[in-house]
A and B are shown apart, each in its own frame.
Chain A
Amino acid sequence: MGFYDLIFWLFAFISVASAALMVFSKNVIYSAVGLLFAFFGVAGIYVLLAADFLAIIQIMIYVGGILVLLLFGVMLSHKIGGVQLETGTLHKIPAFIVVGGIFIILFRVISKTVWPLGTAAKEFNPTVEKIGTLLMTDYLIPFEIVSVMLLIALIGAAYIARKERVQ
């Protein structure tokens, strides 16, 4: 078992354990902390997959952006001092059966399929320059469209979240 394998198991354990903490914790703040470590674990997995740029993007956008946004959502909609942070769950048993069934199907598909793996062994190269070039050449149109979509979504979010004026 090499060093690569060891690091894979470490990051896989971190992400799965934190995701489980997020799912099974009753307190919303604990859920957010679990999600934080799950995002870090996934960023480590990205590094193992030779996606250095995406690992940094993951930490910057998910941890620095989306998670902070979610925490603001928690703070604006709960009474932090009170006991309102507890969140209930419902129909656990049917959900467990459905999710377990889906996982068994996915696992069988993953293990039975013969994946068309690449022939050439890839090395770990920096991807930032290549991704930048691709975004400005082959993927220019999707890049522009997605930026306009992000702008529209943010304007819409600001419009929805605004308090309605009482006439």
Chain B
Amino acid sequence: MSIGLAHFLTLSAILFCLGLFAVITKRNAVTVLMGIELIINAANINFIAFARFTDNDLDGQIFAIFVIVAAAAAAAVALAIVLNLYERLKSIDLDEADSLAG
């Protein structure tokens, strides 16, 4: 069985699940961000795999470029929030950022 669309989709599903696991279990805010980046990469693999294996030519790749730009913007804003959190709490443990909890 040669490599086809299903192989790429399965690889992307594995990466998505690993990223989701990091987002759920990690307590460090920066590591949670790394998990989010992994999830975005998994989504991009899907876009490009569908662009390769279906008839529409490059639409998937263009969309992947926009996704990468959005990921860069998200990483910048999220890191700014993390730094601000550290300024206030002297810690980036997400369990301690509970001042909005009732």
Contacts and interface: CB of A to CB of B under 8 A. Distances in A.
Interface of A: 2, 4-5, 8, 12, 15-16, 19-20, 22-23, 28, 31-32, 35, 38-39, 42, 45-46, 49-51, 53-54, 57-58, 61-62, 65-66, 69-70, 72-74, 76-77, 87-92, 95-96, 98-100, 102-103, 106-107, 110-111, 115-120, 122, 127, 130-131, 134-135, 139, 142, 146-147, 149-150, 153-154, 156-161, 163-164
Contacts of A115: 5-6, 53-54
Nearest to A71: B30
Interface of B: 2-3, 5-11, 13-22, 24-31, 33-35, 37-38, 41, 44-45, 48-49, 51-55, 57-58, 61-62, 64-66, 68-77, 79-84, 86-87, 92-93, 95
Contacts, number: 213
25 contacts: A12-B11, A22-B18, A35-B37, A35-B38, A38-B41, A49-B49, A62-B68, A66-B75, A70-B37, A72-B79, A73-B30, A88-B27, A92-B25, A95-B21, A98-B24, A115-B53, A117-B5, A117-B53, A119-B55, A131-B61, A131-B62, A135-B65, A156-B77, A159-B80, A161-B80
Given A23-B19, A118-B54, 16 more contacts: A4-B2, A4-B3, A5-B3, A19-B14, A51-B48, A58-B68, A66-B37, A70-B75, A95-B24, A107-B10, A107-B13, A146-B66, A146-B70, A149-B73, A157-B76, A157-B80
Which of A22, A58, A66 has the largest number of chain B CB atoms within 10 A?
Answer: A66
B84 to A, nearest CB: 6
Secondary structure class of chain B's binding surface, majority of residues = helix
